[in-house]
Amino acid sequence: MCIMQDIVVLTTLKMAKRHAYEAQFKLKAISYAEEHGNRAAAREFKINESMVRKWRKLENKLRQVKKTQLSFRGHKARWPELEERLERWIIEQRASGRSVSTVTIRLKAVSLAEEMNIEHFQGGPSWCFRFMKRCHFSIRTRTTIAQQLPADYKEKLAIFRSYCSKHIGDKNIQPSHITNMDEVPLTFDIPVSHTVEKKGTSTVAIRTTGYEKSSFTVVLGCHANGQKLPPMVIFKRKTLPKEKFPAEIIIKANEKGWMDEEMMKEWLREVYVRRPGGFFHASPSLLICDSMRAHLTADVKKLVKQMNCELAVIPGGLTKELQPLDIGVNRPFKVRLRAAWERWMTGGDHSFTKSGRQRRASYATICQWIVDAWANMSAGTVVRAFAKAGIISEEPHGTESDSDGEDSEPGMFDGDLAQLFNSDTEDEDFDGFN
């Protein structure tokens, strides 16, 4: 009797190892397939024909990523239709030569979300950069040269701070009478040096309105207690513009559009006099300014003395260390101006010359931007700048600041839009309205 035994042979099947291929390898396979066909490419590169077909469908994306990228992993869009419309809008803006920042993207995204009745969409910075990554956008920027400090800068810092401290202590000068003033040069039309653009684009053009040489100056002043003086604007004109300006700003004009001795004296008489008790010059004061020639003439010094004020002149090359406005105020102020300009530029309500050139914003419109931007600078930001400069020993507790980490740009617009202004554009100085 034959006993038949069933022998079961268990064969362990090894799973084929998955290979990850770099984008440059896939593009080589695509090029080969275009010339010889998908099957030939599969044999040549020892891959499945289905992979070749798949890669050919992704050719455009593969050409826009790094050569070493292995796959298109990452979070999928939660609101694909919104992002598709937003991507088309960005491409349209760039095709017209307009600059696009992350602030503009987030504003537009919130507007689209409201239009599409999408709830709980915040359009925060993290979403914005994930969106840019999904759509292969990047920020194109320039390099800047920082101000070089003098060799003996530490000694000069100590001397200046000691000088200020001595006068503040000897005359018991209150924070409301410690003032810093500075000129901010601006132009009507200087293209921003960076914009969001598709990766791999060889030419990045930005449209302007053609007023690159039209310049003017904004004179800002603030006190160590956080209060601010009205801004003064000096336009490059022989006469004052015949427009209706906001009441909260002082309008001046001269042939250079810049601070000179006469403008400095007018600032002292019309702006500086508005400090607390400034009309009667009852309280001793300290005015901090840089070493610009217009600040230091004999007539200016005489007028400053008559106002019961001591002049503290910052040594050359040290404004970024000792000037409160330069340290923590001018930058967020310019950010607000840029945000206002971007909203105006992308709004679509513009007039054009007969030759088709877009007209710049009016004097009154720009002055309103300045008033709004300056009004929305918080007292905490100003106080903090004086503390960083070493003019006051410490900032009061509980002061609200809008420049923490220099990422925050609140206050220019009401409601939830105020939360959107965490811009990538603050890493660079803003010198104009384009």
Bigger pLDDT: 157 or 394?
157
Domain extents in the chain: 23-64, 80-135, 152-201+210-350+359-394
Q: State residue 397 phi and psi, 5-degree precision.
A: -70, 145
- pLDDT category of residue 404 using cuts at 50, 70 and 90: very low
Mean of the per-residue pLDDT values for the chain?
81
Encoded tokens for 380: 């905490």
- Chain segment 233-271, per-residue pLDDT in tens: 999 999 999 999 999 999 999 998 999 999 999 999 999
- Chain segment 51-103, per-residue pLDDT in tens: 899 889 888 878 877 777 776 665 678 889 999 999 999 988 887 777 788 88
Bigger pLDDT: 398 or 192?
192
- Across residues 384-397, what is the average pLDDT? 82
Triad 249, 324, 267: Cα angle to 5°:
35
Torsion angle (degrees, nearest 10) of CA 411, 420, 192, 138: 160
Q: What is the DSSP string of 34-86?
A: HHH-HHHHHHHHT--HHHHHHHHHTHHHHTTS-TT-----SPPPSSHHHHHHH
Percentages helix, strand, coil for the chain (3-state, rounded to 5) are 40, 10, 45
**What pLDDT score was predicted for residue 17?**
63
- pLDDT category of residue 419 using cuts at 50, 70 and 90: very low
Give the H/E segment covering residue 339: helix 330-345
**What pLDDT score was predicted for residue 388?**
95
User: How far is C-alpha 270 from the chain's CA centre?
Assistant: 31
**What pLDDT score was predicted for residue 394?**
64
- Chain segment 38-57, per-residue pLDDT in tens: 999 999 998 899 989 988 98
- pLDDT category of residue 194 using cuts at 50, 70 and 90: low
Q: 139 has which bridge partners?
A: 196
- Across residues 356-361, what is the average pLDDT? 75
Q: Name which of 342, 363, 360 is nearest 424 in CA terms.
A: 342
**Helix pair angle (330-345, 363-375), 10° resolution:** 130
Max mean pLDDT range (184-188, 386-390, 401-405): 386-390
- Chain segment 202-233, per-residue pLDDT in tens: 676 665 555 445 678 999 999 999 999 999 99
Q: Are strands 285-289 and 309-313 parallel, antiparallel or unpaired?
A: parallel
DSSP state of 352: B
- Chain segment 2-25, per-residue pLDDT in tens: 444 444 444 444 555 667 888 889
Torsion angle (degrees, nearest 10) of CA 276, 282, 287, 293: 120
Q: Name which of 71, 70, 90 is nearest 131 in CA terms.
A: 90
- pLDDT category of residue 149 using cuts at 50, 70 and 90: confident
The 3-class secondary structure across 191-215, one letter per residue, is CCCCEEEECCCCCCCCCCCCCCCCE
**What pLDDT score was predicted for residue 341?**
80
Using a 10 angstrom Cβ sphere, with 0-12 exposed, 13-18 middle and 19 or more buried, the burial of residue 106 is buried
Q: How far apart are CA 304 and CA 285, in angstroms?
A: 10
Q: What is the CATH number of domain 80-135?
A: 1.10.10.60
Q: What is the CATH number of domain 152-201+210-350+359-394?
A: 3.30.420.10
- pLDDT category of residue 273 using cuts at 50, 70 and 90: very high
- Tell me whether the CATH fold assigned to 80-135 matches the one assigned to 152-201+210-350+359-394: no
Assign residue 296 a region (left: φ > 0; alpha: ψ between -120 and 50; beta: otherwise).
Answer: alpha
Encoded tokens for 402: 């809008």
Using a 10 angstrom Cβ sphere, with 0-12 exposed, 13-18 middle and 19 or more buried, the burial of residue 134 is middle
**What pLDDT score was predicted for residue 397?**
47
**What pLDDT score was predicted for residue 233?**
96
Amino acid (1-letter code) at residue 130: R
CA dist 334 → 79, 370, 421 (Å): 33, 9, 13
First to last CA, the chain: 100
